[in-house]
Chain A
């Protein structure tokens, strides 16, 4: 389009872009130099991650499970982990590097992130214990649920059905209660089972 601009702002310097542009794409674009193996990863994971995610990445308490759950996605209660759910290895590297450990993000070196990522893969049974992750071996890893995602299909599966004039009278024969929130009673309140906000 071109055209006039306002002349506001100033050019970003290469060092500034390098400091902030850390994202890694599914094809590995954005991965820096470095490497790490499963055993280095186990040590780093124990030190920086295991308190919340467990020594085997299995999760502690309500903290996220990073391993397990393969084959559960069509269960009543699916267990969604890196191994069972995440489609791309790039996301693991990117997210750990930028946002973990929780409360001390951006404290891990590139080699530590490679090693921790290798250990998470090992914990999910996706690589052998002698695996070394770097930019070259990145492409060798097969994520089990890589093909498990479809692009939003609501226009075809829902909108076509639900863009119709709705029923206004005699829409159903009976109305019966099938479930009650008060039976579950998990709503916070000021006291006892009282609902908040009264």
Chain B
């Protein structure tokens, strides 16, 4: 028995306008295709008639020196939610995760989060300073950075606020909006420890911090404990094989594996070794998590294990009718590798262990699949990630029990999609 709660509509005053869902195409497809392949009644003209692309010519190799996706994929784009922020400069957009597969996020549609816009900083104008408690404060040019030994690592970057709009209820209808403040790229960069060593840093960790800031007006300064700085942080100069995109910090950004995206300082211009944290705006006013009793957690750096089904989902409904269905999604953990993802089709009553496309990688996205048979039954799809520490992704109720509803950040709850008999899916909360 489904009980629907409609009182949220009154809060917004926007009413419950329903879209005309796919104009009946789902029902038609469902009727056409049974469990097996349907026999064609007529020969398919796409096969029996010579098509223009099989006869004429395509584009020359000089047509596209640097290409964009084919126009039929023009819905696989970043999206903005206007009402979330006061303006579009200090704001966020969302990766179209509902339409992607595998784990690598194409940089051109990988989400952006700026506090004073995406600045243009050319390599010739770039300077990186290391100062503070080091033997020799140094200035590097971009060309200097390219002369240090490099490492390659793939990591997820998840905004601390990803899924943050969902704390108080089911709000945005699509995985792109609920879980799309994330991207996963292969970075080439210089270990931060190499640069600190170059400045003659002693390597002491006890009570020592680095304060890192960007070249943009917001500066986005954050304090990072020295243990992390010397462990796996990188100053990245390439992502997914090419220079960083302007909006992702060109020509250099900090990579802080497993930790909240805010700390991945873009357009990085200065690293200061200090005796304590600066307690900057981005680690006091913001990126602190208020609990039900009014106290707030600070320095909640790690992003806990999380997952989401990306298809089917509200933006990726089932349109192929009954029969074989691929349920897919992604999982990640700031504590290390994903070891298992379970999927439920009945809202968490029963769970099946999904197939990981590849063994989980350290602090990187992992793709999962559950191949199943769907015959038009209503489903409440959920996914539940486990990481190598044995941590199991919690429900929203479990999170709320500890934190209340005003944490804003770090919402790694289990997501539910209500897949209806016509294949449409909706973001819901279930008991």
Residues of A within 8 A of B (CB): 1, 3, 5-6, 8-12, 16-17, 20-21, 23-26, 61-64, 73-74, 76-78, 80, 82, 85-88, 90-91, 94-95, 98-99, 102-103, 105-106, 148-154, 157-159, 161-172, 174-189, 192-198
* Residue contact B280 to A91, C-beta cutoff 8 Å: yes
With A9-B139, A105-B116 known as contacts, the answer to whether A180 contacts B221 (CB < 8 A) is no
Known: A87-B284, A149-B296, A184-B12. A9 touches B429 (CB 8 A): no
> In the complex the two chains form, is B294's CB within 8 Å of A78's CB?
yes
Query: Would A10 and B296 be within 8 Å (CB), given that A5-B200, A87-B284, A193-B19 are in contact?
Result: no
Q: Does B107 contact A (CB under 8 A)?
A: no
Contacts A62-B86, A78-B290, A180-B5; is A162 near B394 (CB within 8 Å)?
A: yes
Main SS at interface, chain A: loop
CB pair B198–A159 under 8 Å, yes or no, is no
Beyond A8-B148, A74-B293, A185-B17, whether A23 also contacts B278 by CB under 8 A is: yes
User: Which residue on chain B has the smallest CB distance to residue A105?
Assistant: B217
Q: Among the listed stretches B30-38, B170-178, B320-328, which one makes contact with chain A, having 4 or more residues with CB under 8 Å of it? A: B170-178
Other than the known A76-B406, A171-B349, A187-B177, what 9 A-B pairs have Cβ atoms closer than 8 Å? A12-B138, A99-B218, A150-B297, A163-B391, A175-B430, A179-B169, A184-B171, A185-B14, A186-B83
* 27 residue pairs from A and B, CB less than 8 Å apart: A1-B203, A11-B136, A16-B129, A23-B272, A62-B86, A76-B405, A85-B285, A95-B280, A95-B281, A99-B115, A99-B219, A152-B297, A162-B391, A175-B346, A178-B5, A178-B430, A180-B418, A181-B426, A182-B426, A183-B5, A183-B16, A184-B11, A184-B171, A185-B14, A186-B12, A188-B82, A197-B98
Interface string of B341-359 (1 = CB under 8 A from A): 0100011111100000000
Is the C-beta of B182 less than 8 angstroms from some C-beta in chain A?
Answer: no
CB distance from B404 to the nearest CB of A (A): 8
Counting chain B residues whose Cβ lies within 8 A of the other chain, the interface size class is 35 or more
The complex places the Cα of A179 from the Cα of B428 at a distance, in Å, of: 5
A73 nearest in chain B by CB position: B294
**Residue B189 lies at the interface, judged by CB distance under 8 Å to chain A:** no
Nearest CB of B to A142, in Å: 16
Question: Are the C-beta atoms of B5 and A106 separated by less than 8 Å?
Answer: no
Chain A residue, CB-CB nearest to B147: A8
